[in-house]
Amino acid sequence: MIPAGARVYVATRPVDFRKGPDGLAALVRDTGADPFCGALYVFRAKRADRVKIVWWDGSGLCLFAKRLDEDRFCWPRVENGVIRLAAPRLMALVEGMDWTRVRVERKRRPTSLVSCPNQTDRFGWDKQATKLLNLGQLCFN
């Protein structure tokens, strides 16, 4: 499971897949990034049928590895650099799906019931919301 709010970085150039978690963390450090910041770093093999993900979970360095038997992962174009992915796109990539077709929607935050600070009762409730609550017309789901 991907930690909530974790950043995901994908190395676009294939790496030596004999490397373990420490070797991959060293590659991350060589790029100037901090491998112990909680971000997920995704690496690909030359044959495009394998993926390794390394991250720090707060107590140790974790390594996830997967090899597809009959197919290949859908990888970004090979070039120097790193791209950033949203968590749903990473999940699609790991499942062997075309992650470029996953649409990521931004979460909307709810608006406050309090419309104006001077229009509140002694408990901080909006006076209109208090009236609706008393009438049974305001519901919380």
Residue 141: per-residue pLDDT: 47
Residue 129: per-residue pLDDT: 57
* Number of domains into which the chain is organized: 2
Predicted confidence (pLDDT) at residue 130 exceeds the cutoff of 60:
no
**Residue 27, domain extent:** 8-101
Residue 85: per-residue pLDDT: 84
Residue that wins the pLDDT comparison between 130 and 12: 12
CA distances from 75 to 11, 27, 46, 99 (A): 10, 19, 11, 8
Predicted confidence (pLDDT) at residue 138 exceeds the cutoff of 50:
no
Q: Is residue 37 part of a domain?
A: yes
Q: Is residue 97 part of a domain?
A: yes
Is 120 found in the same domain as 74?
Answer: no
Is 31 found in the same domain as 85?
Answer: yes
Residue that wins the pLDDT comparison between 81 and 33: 33
Is 22 found in the same domain as 87?
Answer: yes
47: number of CA atoms within 13 Å, CB side? 9
What is the average per-residue pLDDT within 90-119? 68
**pLDDT one-digit tens code per residue, 5-64:** 789 998 888 899 999 999 999 999 998 889 999 899 999 888 888 999 999 988 999 999
59: number of CA atoms within 13 Å, CB side? 0
Residue 81: per-residue pLDDT: 78
